[in-house]
């Protein structure tokens, strides 16, 4: 082997090392980016699922962060769904999260190489049993609501105040965050 052959072999070896190293670094960055995105979207999914079909203010406030994360890291379709939800909440104070949850779940299962599942979403919502305190609190709320009905009427005004226990409106099932 001549000196020129040795130099060429060394250049090819060093060049090959740089190319392989650059490709490995690129693959590592892509894997890190995918892992980061997946972790954040899983956290967002969990927070959104926790708030879905509930109406307490603390859970609704907890939606701000996951909606922001989806607008940052979600697919274009997920970003559109998050923005649609945000607009509906601003206009009507209610909206369904199911379509966004289904799309996130589908995307995350694909990313994690899990088999596809049905698009059907079920949310388990358990209401705690009412002990003495809970019953007392409910009774007090009913009394306050009845008193509120009488508050703005002059004494002796005809008619009866609205019944706070009247549930004659449409059922709460499938009404977004009011369940």
Q: Quick one: which of 36, 69, 32, 59 has its CA closest to 125? A: 59
Q: What confidence category does residue 166 fall into, taking pLDDT thresholds of 50, 70 and 90? A: low
Supply the angle between the helices 98-111 and 3-51 in degrees, to the nearest 10.
Answer: 150
Q: What are phi and psi of 157, to 5 degrees?
A: -65, 140
The confidence score (pLDDT) of residue 107 equals 93
More confident: 128 or 66: 66
- Residues in Cβ contact with 66 at an 8 Å cutoff, skipping those fewer than 6 apart: 43, 44, 45, 47, 48
**pLDDT recorded at residue 105:** 93
Distant-in-sequence, close-in-space partners of 85: CB < 8 Å, separation ≥ 6: 67, 95, 96, 97, 100
Higher pLDDT, 161 or 146: 146
Length in residues, the chain = 179
Cβ-based neighbour number of residue 131 at 10 Å: 9
Distance between CA atoms of residues 97 and 48, nearest Å: 7
**pTM exceeds 0.85:** no
Q: At what angle do helices 76-92 and 64-73 cross, to 10 degrees?
A: 150
């Amino acid at each position: 082997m001549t000196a020129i052959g040795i130099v060429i072999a060394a250049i090819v070896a060093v060049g090959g090392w740089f190319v392989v190293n650059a490709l490995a670094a690129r693959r590592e960055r892509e894997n890190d980016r995918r892992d980061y995105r997946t972790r954040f979207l899983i956290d967002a999914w969990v927070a959104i699922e926790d708030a879905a079909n509930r109406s307490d203010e603390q859970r609704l406030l907890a939606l701000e962060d996951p909606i922001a994360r989806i607008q940052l890291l979600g697919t274009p379709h997920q970003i559109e769904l998050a923005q649609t939800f945000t607009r509906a909440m601003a206009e009507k104070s209610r909206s369904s999260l199911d379509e966004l949850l289904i799309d996130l779940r589908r995307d995350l299962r694909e990313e994690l190489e899990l088999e596809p599942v049905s698009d059907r979403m079920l949310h388990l919502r358990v209401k705690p049993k009412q002990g003495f305190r809970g019953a007392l609190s409910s009774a007090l709320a009913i009394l306050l609501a009845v008193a509120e009905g009488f508050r703005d009427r002059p004494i002796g005004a005809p008619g009866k105040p609205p019944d706070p226990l009247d549930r004659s409106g449409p059922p709460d099932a499938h009404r977004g965050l009011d369940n």
